[in-house]
């Protein structure tokens, strides 16, 4: 049981971090960023390149992923989403744009980094073995702790910084925030950059554990959407809750349902359908903050 | 006047250059060979190694002046189509090949894609070389598919037997991705293991291909304490993570798979934890490789930057197509002529030392010759590279 809980917490921490960026972008701009998974993959490849190809320390790779993805996110918002949102009132325009960016990034990743699975060496060696009740490699513990630290930092940033407060105001009521003098364009761009940066950071963190490959983007986006649907789209605490709930459900299901074949996700999806039928806005719904 | 003269001279030179290059371009007629397979997504490595092997070999042959079939010398052109591992796309790809008049296609890479394209291939007179294992593709009445590699039900028993005899393996556990190929390979492996007298201690655990933490997946498998853990049909992307998780959970037994893997990917993803991992290698070893194989590797590396060990096998399909067409030029647009040639076909194998031959095999497994003959090379990963464990022949 302890092992199941430990696995669930570790999975939940990484999932929550993935979902945070997606829910931030959704709350600020009402955009479902289908390219979130590809941004995660791009971040992983940047860390891989810096660490494995250039031989620089892991922390440099992580910072490079954050920087590259933040710039990429900012540019995507400024030059792609902003004009489309300005010209089109139809929500599907931004969805199509996001899907197009996902395909484009897939192609760019293939061209820049190739089709192979990539990974970087373990950043910490050794395995924690607590009397055979919990077996957890130290690098997973480190990545889990880093993920939780990043989540806490993000919450503090959103809660207490001027930029965070402006973005929360924007998310609660775009028009009111504009009337109160919030530079909507600027904070939308910062928010998108921050969301993309979070995706890049998770990619960079997990490249040491799971490695990275071209095909991970789509499934990652699907899982991230699943988490924010559980927690409530656009709600930061909901994304965190959704991440941990999904992680725990996966861990419990994979252990207890293993004997019945791969039915864990079948059970998760069936549960989610029933849950959404009862509570379509997710656990925490809107407004977020 | 000078300017007019200059313009006239430039125009004449340009015209001549264009005529000359057009003449050079049109020197040989083009023989189109198709490729329908996966070159994007998680399994992209399988298809890309196919396509690049074909493109490397085609460029090499064209550089040498082309391929002479009957009285005509052709330049070989590879027509690729990415099926994205989607059977519907594979059908669309095969239909495109039919529309383009292509009669010989390499691929698809996976079971459902290969099964899906069968009606299109048979209706349009296309011979295709899948890297998929369902026997019904190759057994009568099917006759247009030719297995391009060694199947898991051929390599699996050989590996298990070797490990039983040499490492005392008695208990075996299987884990597979929840997809058609790995699941069918697992079922084939379980059957083969039981037939050899091994005790199967776990065969129901599966995983999603996008799993990011394999610890919970492998926990119940490791608890069953197998001597050998078989990663059925594992993709190069998942293999390092599975190996790493198994070792980190304290598993010290043997780990094997019947799919081909990539040494760099294993090194990066699992490092020394992958030492001892047994997999089916590309159909070549340093001892078996001829000068032509070494040149192929060099050319591939120059063209694409990095070689893929799987290409040791995937270089063969195009060679078989071209050599069979040379043996019977009537087959160039008549696949029935191709089929009739296959039974007796034999040509020197340029990629192996000695007097190795290209021949079609498969009579034992399929009741007819619907498989290319390539050596079964079983590798053991050790300190960043593959070492040959043993080499065998199928059929």
Contact across the interface for A117 and B209, Cβ inside 8 Å: no
Contact across the interface for A10 and B213, Cβ inside 8 Å: yes
Contacts with B194 (C-beta within 8 Å, 6 or more apart), sequence order: B200
Structural domain contains residue B387:
no
Average pLDDT over residues B228-256: 91
Q: Which residues of B touch A114 (CB under 8 A)?
A: 305-306
> What is the Rg, in whole angstroms, of the alpha carbon atoms belonging to chain B?
23
The pLDDT of residue B324 is 97
Q: Which residues of A touch B210 (CB under 8 A)?
A: 216, 219-220, 223
User: Is residue B39 within 8 angstroms of chain A, CB to CB?
Assistant: yes
Structural domain contains residue B22:
no
On whether both B44 and B76 belong to a single domain, the answer is yes
On whether both B276 and B344 belong to a single domain, the answer is no
pLDDT tens, B334-372? 999 999 999 999 999 999 988 889 999 999 889 999 999
Min Cα distance A100 → chain B (Å) is 16
Interface of B with A in 213-232 (CB under 8 A): 213, 215-217, 219-220
Q: Domain residues of chain A, as ranges?
A: 2-278
Q: Provide the domain limits for residue B111.
A: 30-149+286-374
Give the nearest partner residue to A119 out of B41, B268, B306, using CB atoms: B268
User: Is residue B355 within 8 angstroms of chain A, CB to CB?
Assistant: no
Contact across the interface for B213 and A110, Cβ inside 8 Å: no
Give the nearest partner residue to B219 out of A3, A122, A223, using CB atoms: A3
pLDDT tens, B40-98? 776 777 899 899 999 999 999 999 999 999 999 999 999 999 998 899 999 999 999 99
Contact across the interface for B216 and A251, Cβ inside 8 Å: yes
Number of domains present in the structure of chain B: 2
Min Cα distance A24 → chain B (Å) is 23
Report pTM.
0.75
On whether both B192 and B95 belong to a single domain, the answer is no
On whether both B213 and B278 belong to a single domain, the answer is yes
On whether both B298 and B234 belong to a single domain, the answer is no
* Chain A / chain B CB contacts < 8 angstroms: 119
On whether both B49 and B143 belong to a single domain, the answer is yes
Contact across the interface for A214 and B205, Cβ inside 8 Å: no
| Domain limit, last residue, from B252, B282, B312 | B282
Q: Which residues of A touch B43 (CB under 8 A)?
A: 215
pLDDT band for position B15 (cuts 50, 70, 90) = low
| Domain limit, last residue, from B282, B307, B341 | B282
Min Cα distance B204 → chain A (Å) is 5
The pLDDT of residue A286 is 62
Q: Which residues of B touch A211 (CB under 8 A)?
A: 237, 240-241, 265, 268-269
Structure tokens at B185: 């390979």
The pLDDT of residue B13 is 54
The pLDDT of residue A261 is 67
User: Is residue B237 within 8 angstroms of chain A, CB to CB?
Assistant: yes
On whether both B368 and B321 belong to a single domain, the answer is yes
Q: Which residues of A touch B305 (CB under 8 A)?
A: 114
On whether both B159 and B222 belong to a single domain, the answer is yes
> Does residue B20 register a pLDDT over 50?
no
Min Cα distance B154 → chain A (Å) is 26
What's the CATH fold of domain A2-278? Answer: ABC transporter involved in vitamin B12 uptake, BtuC (1.10.3470)
pLDDT tens, B192-209? 999 999 999 999 888 887
The pLDDT of residue A10 is 86
pLDDT tens, B310-334? 888 999 999 999 999 999 999 999 9
Structural domain contains residue B19:
no
On whether both B177 and B221 belong to a single domain, the answer is yes
How large a percentage of chain B has pLDDT more than 90? 62
CATH of the domain at B200: 3.40.50.2300
On whether both B195 and B216 belong to a single domain, the answer is yes
What is the C-alpha separation between B368 and B174, in angstroms, rounded? 31
Which chain A residue has the Cα nearest residue B49?
A115
On whether both B145 and B157 belong to a single domain, the answer is no
Interface test with A, best of B210, B238, B244 (most A CBs within 10 A): B210
pLDDT tens, B280-314? 887 777 888 999 999 999 999 999 988 888 888 99
- Nearest alpha carbon to residue B200 among B239, B160, B244, B165: B160
Interface test with A, best of B190, B234, B268, B300 (most A CBs within 10 A): B268
| Domain limit, last residue, from B282, B309, B331 | B282
Min Cα distance B266 → chain A (Å) is 9
pLDDT tens, A247-277? 888 888 877 876 776 688 888 889 989 998 8
On whether both B158 and B138 belong to a single domain, the answer is no
Structural domain contains residue B356:
yes
- 3-state SS string for chain B: CHHHHHHHHHHHHHHHHHHHHHHHHCCCCEEEEEEEECCCCCCHHHHHHHHHHHHHHHHHHHHCCCEEECCEEEEEEEEEEECCCCHHHHHHHHHHHHHCCCCEEECCCCHHHHHHHHHHHHHCCCEEECCCCCHHHCCCCCCCECECCCCHHHHHHHHHHHHHHHHCCCEEEEEEECCHHHHHHHHHHHHHHHHCCCEEEEEEEEECCCCCCCHHHHHHHHHCCCCEEEEECCCCCCHHHHHHHHHHCCCCCEEECCCCCCHHHHHHHHHHHHCCCEEECCCCCCCCECHHHHHHHHHHHHHHCCCCCCHHHHCHHHHHHHHHHHHCHHHHCCHHHHHHHHCCCCEECCCECCCCEECEECHHHHCCCCEECCCEEEEEEECCEEEEEEEECCC
Averaged in consecutive runs of 10 residues, what is the pLDDT profile of chain A (289 residues)? 84 88 87 92 96 93 96 95 88 89 91 84 82 82 90 91 90 86 90 94 90 85 88 84 89 78 82 89 69
Give the nearest partner residue to A254 out of B217, B248, B270, using CB atoms: B217
Min Cα distance B85 → chain A (Å) is 11
């Amino acid at each position: 049981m302890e092992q199941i809980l430990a696995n669930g917490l570790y999975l939940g921490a990484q999932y929550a971090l993935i979902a945070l960026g997606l829910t931030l972008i959704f709350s600020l701009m009402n955009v479902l960023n289908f390219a979130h998974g590809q941004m995660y993959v791009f971040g992983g490849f940047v860390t891989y390149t810096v660490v494995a190809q250039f031989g620089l320390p892991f922390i440099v790779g992580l910072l490079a992923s954050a920087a590259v993805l933040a710039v990429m996110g900012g540019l995507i918002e400024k030059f792609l989403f902003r004009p489309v949102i300005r010209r089109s009132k139809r929500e599907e325009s931004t969805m199509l744009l996001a899907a197009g960016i996902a395909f484009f990034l897939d192609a760019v990743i293939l061209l820049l980094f190739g089709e192979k699975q990539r990974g970087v060496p373990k950043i910490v060696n050794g395995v924690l073995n607590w009397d055979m009740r919990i077996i957890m490699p130290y690098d997973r513990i480190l990545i889990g702790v880093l993920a939780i630290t990043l989540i806490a930092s993000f919450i503090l940033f959103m809660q207490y910084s001027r930029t965070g407060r402006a973005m929360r105001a924007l998310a609660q009521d775009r028009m009111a925030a504009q009337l109160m003098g919030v530079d909507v364009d600027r904070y939308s761009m910062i928010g998108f950059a921050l969301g993309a940066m979070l995706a890049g950071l998770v990619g960079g963190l997990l490249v040491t554990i799971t490695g990275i490959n071209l095909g991970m983007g789509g499934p990652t986006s699907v899982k991230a959407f699943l988490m924010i649907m559980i927690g409530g789209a656009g709600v930061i605490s909901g994304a965190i809750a959704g991440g941990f709930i999904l992680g725990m459900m996966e861990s419990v299901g994979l252990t207890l349902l293993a004997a019945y074949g791969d039915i864990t996700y079948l059970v998760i999806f069936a549960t989610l359908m029933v849950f959404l039928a009862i509570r379509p806005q997710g656990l925490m719904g809107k407004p977020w903050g | 006047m000078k300017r007019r003269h200059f313009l006239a001279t430039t125009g004449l030179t340009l015209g001549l250059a264009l005529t000359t290059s057009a003449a050079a371009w049109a020197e040989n007629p083009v023989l189109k060979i198709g490729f329908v397979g996966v070159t994007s997504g998680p399994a992209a490595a399988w298809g890309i190694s196919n396509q690049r092997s074909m493109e490397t070999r085609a460029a090499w042959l064209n550089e040498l002046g082309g391929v002479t079939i009957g009285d005509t010398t052709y330049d070989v052109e590879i027509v690729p189509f990415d099926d994205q591992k989607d059977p519907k796309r594979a059908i669309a790809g095969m239909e495109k090949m039919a529309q383009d008049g292509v009669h010989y296609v390499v691929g698809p890479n996976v079971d459902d894609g290969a099964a899906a394209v069968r009606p299109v291939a048979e209706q349009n007179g296309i011979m295709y070389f899948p890297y998929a294992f369902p026997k019904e593709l190759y057994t009568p009445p099917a006759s247009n598919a030719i297995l391009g590699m060694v199947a898991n039900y051929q390599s699996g028993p050989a590996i298990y037997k070797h490990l039983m005899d040499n490492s005392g393996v008695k208990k075996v556990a299987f884990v597979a991705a929840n997809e058609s190929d790995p699941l069918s390979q697992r079922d084939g492996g379980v059957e083969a293991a039981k037939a050899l007298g091994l005790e199967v201690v776990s065969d129901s655990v599966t995983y999603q291909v996008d799993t990011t933490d394999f610890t919970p997946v492998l926990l119940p498998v490791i608890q069953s304490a197998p001597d050998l853990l078989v990663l059925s049909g594992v993709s190069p992307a998942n293999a390092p993570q599975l190996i790493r998780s198994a070792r980190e959970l304290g598993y010290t037994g043997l780990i094997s798979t019947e799919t081909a893997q990539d040494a760099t990917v294993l090194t990066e993803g699992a490092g020394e934890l992958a030492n001892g991992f047994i997999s089916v290698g590309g159909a070549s070893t340093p001892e078996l490789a001829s000068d032509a194989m070494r040149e192929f590797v060099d050319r591939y590396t120059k063209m694409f930057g990095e070689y893929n060990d799987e290409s040791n096998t995937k270089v063969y399909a195009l060679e078989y197509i071209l050599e069979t067409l040379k043996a019977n030029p009537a087959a160039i647009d008549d696949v029935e002529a191709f089929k009739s040639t296959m039974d007796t076909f034999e040509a020197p194998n340029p990629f192996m030392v000695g007097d190795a031959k290209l021949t079609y095999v498969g009579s034992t497994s399929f009741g007819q010759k619907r498989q290319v003959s390539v050596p079964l090379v079983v590798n053991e990963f050790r300190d960043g590279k593959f070492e040959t464990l043993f080499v065998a022949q199928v059929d």
